[in-house]
Structure 1
């Protein structure tokens, strides 16, 4: 073989190595089988144009190579090609990473986006959900995280052990779980089997669950006991408070000293409502603009408000009144008793409407929840660049449906979510949702490319009336900017809010 031929073959071999990937590229017809065939899978739902996805790619590849040796599979799905699969798994932004233990046990990936962080997180996921704890390892286990749970059980109590395993499997992303059958160790910890102790490095240090072991009861106990009595509300904790499912009371103050002082004063109120209302302080200097989202004046602190997170209702405490223990206690008690009406921020109802119906808080229910119509709603912010780019396309969409046979069955609508209270907690702009006729409680979030054609396809697929209209094809330049206008992650949208949570 000539030297030139050897050199060429060498280049081909090097190229093959360079392009080899340990990340499995999955499609709709291969996804289910791949997940079923592997005990643990990390899957990335991405879009080729997404900047965050591009930054993640080399880290993801490196982690996949390391994890492959430990039989942990890593995969990716192109959501611009596999739109149905991505919608099926609730993908709303890119990249979205999820951990699969079969098709039924799915959890969001909560680790870092660097190779070492991905590897470390997934190796932890591969370990047993419940670790055996002894008198020699208990103190070390308590320090494993800010919150850990240890069950003290009788060796013969199989029922409680099975319940513990189910809970640990479900909550393993949140807390480390341990177990001990040492009766002497249980006695030393002040409990008697069966019992579950939640150890924490804040508040009272530990909480004890001594009722009959039940999955839902333990979940509720863990969620309540693991939440600080009066925590700190910020970018790292905000989503946890929103997903807790119970109202959140905000204590706005500009200095750390003032926040500590008010927290100490209001501890009796927070203690009395533990598990009913979560309490947290918020830095008014850094996040004071969020007060406006709660219908408070954003320039008058300290301030107090409660948000009903499920219905996204706001209950601001009168800022002209002093925040005394007695006044806040009465306000919170009345709120819990249902005696306080929510504050509703709304623009005036428009006197006339165009092809895109303008929704405000005062007409939201009448329009969006009209059970006879499929209603597509764009939740936007006036300052949002992506919303401005979408505007002419959205107007065109409205005109197409207004002139079609579906004009009385489909409404194209928009609402300024910064100027109107809406039932949904909107975390990124624009957010587009379809509220189908006859199924208003099953709104579907749009996650495709923001083109007129894709929006029509979405309405036709997800709406009751399967309403599709014709649109003239327009040749557009394929540019990075145009691609990025198609969609974005919630985090990318949040960057435009500056001091929003």
Structure 2
């Protein structure tokens, strides 16, 4: 009898212990092969938690994520607005592979069926999750009531302006869909009725793209969309072409996401009080360098990233500075002014992949003399390649994720 009571106590303890980490019933949706396509196609926003039952970070997140889902559904109960779901990667390997999951938990965001590689990387709290969903569901297009407002739009990113006959039409709803996907790359504005009168052909709506202030001068600064605004795929393609730039700005907010792409950084450190080098760097990248998916071209505010500058032996007074971070070592481009010499920056990038920069770091020897001025000494070149990578510290942390594959070669 005593043994039976003891067994009952152990069973009760096990039930209570499991209850602490088990999902809260009736909150997030179980997602798998059987319903993934339907969920992605029928929702404005989908937030997915890719987890395993053995991952300690997944276990800690489970009750927080489930409570957040409960609050989201209480505020946004409409069908097709938002789905908060969970994917067990041990039992749903096809879905996990479809999203290229390499760490647990991964929180993926899908907007209007467009998967991309977007993730939620913010704070893991009920309030943070709820606020994220709330912000994502907010209208991504800002209405302007006077043309004067357009003169005061910040020009540090691309801008798409729509001139519509009225607000209740399919063209505008399609723009809102595209804007919700592309709002991190561009700002979206729209005017309706009388405020837009005379700015679009009679009986037609019009979209205009305006480039950011540091856009290189060889590309169109203003351009008009000539396709069908009601064609979602066509409009999204045009928006991507205009808004997604070859050179991105790295910040502490997006550094982990960019670093996880696993591509070496070719980056310009600049002084925010002088944006001329930013324009010059963008122009060289867009017109003089081969467009490759093997590197990330970035600009970085030197005031924010003083730590890697220090390891390069540089200060704010030395800006602008160009360097490559391979996630093992940092290689300094000896003279910023040489970007204007044909082929010099391209050769510096090429030498990362041929192994010349890496070989010199480990074994010494001569680097191509065509890259450097005659008065550049070997000691200066050695100092340029000594520092270890500083941006690898911004990769996803093992203190936050269970990483599946952490090992990558330099090249």
Q: Residue in 2 aligned with 1:236?
A: 253
Question: Counterpart of 1:272 in 2: which secondary structure?
Answer: helix
Name the residue aligned to 1:342. Answer: 351
Aligned counterparts of 1:308 and 1:100: Cα–Cα separation in 2: 30
Instruction: Decide whether the 8 Å contact of 2:165 with 2:196 is kept in 1.
Output: no
The SS at the match of 2:244 is helix
| RMSD between superposed Cα atoms in Å | 5.5
1:220 maps to 2:241: yes
Give ranges in structure 1 of 5+ residues lacking alignment.
Answer: 1-11, 253-258, 292-297, 349-417, 420-425, 431-483, 495-501
**1:342 to 1:44, Cα distance in 2 relative to 1, 3 A:** same
Residue deviations 1:93-146 (CA, integer Å, cap 9, x gap): 111112345755566243633222222222333345545443399579958x97
Aligned counterparts of 1:198 and 1:61: Cα–Cα separation in 2: 42
Give every structure 1 segment of 4 or more consecutive aligned residues whose post-TM-superposition deviation is greater than 6 Å. 242-247, 336-340
Measure, in 2, the Cα distance between the counterparts of 1:132 and 1:47: 43
Which residue number in structure 1 is paired with residue 7 of structure 2? none
- For 2:109, the equivalent position in structure 1 comes to 99
Structure 1 residue aligned with 2:340: 329
Deviations 1:446-490 (A, max 9, x none): xxxxxxxxxxxxxxxxxxxxxxxxxxxxxxxxxxxxxx9x94278
Decide whether aligned partners of structure 1 residues 159 and 209 sit closer, same or farther in structure 2, where only a CA change above 3 A counts: farther
Out of 84, 108, 130, the residue aligned to residue 74 of structure 1 is 84
Which of 86, 101, 109 matches 2:96? 86
Check whether the contact 2:158–2:243 (CA below 8 A) recurs between aligned residues.
no
Displacement after TM superposition at 1:179 (Å): 1.6
Q: Distance in 2 between matches of 1:160 and 1:34?
A: 24
- Distance in 2 between the 1:338 and 1:46 partners? 43
> 477, 480, 488: which one pairs with 2:403?
488
Structure with the larger RCO, 1 or 2 (CA within 8 Å, 6+ apart)? 2
Aligned residues: 317
Q: How do residues 462-477 of structure 1 correspond to structure 2 at under 5 angstroms?
A: none
SS in 1 for 2:87: strand
CA distance in 2, matches of 1:239, 1:315: 18
Equivalent residues of 2:163, 2:196 under 8 A apart: no
Q: Which runs of 5+ in 2 are unaligned?
A: 1-14, 200-204, 216-220, 228-233, 290-296, 361-386, 389-393
Counterpart position of 1:50: 55
Question: In 2, distance between residues paired with 1:21 and 1:187?
Answer: 52
TM-score, length basis structure 2: 0.55
Paired position in structure 2 for 1:454: none
Whole-angstrom CA distance in 1 between matches of 2:194 and 2:265: 39
Cα contact 1:59–1:115 (8 A) shared by 2:
yes
Alpha-carbon spacing, 1:197–1:263, altered in 2? closer, same or farther (3 Å): same
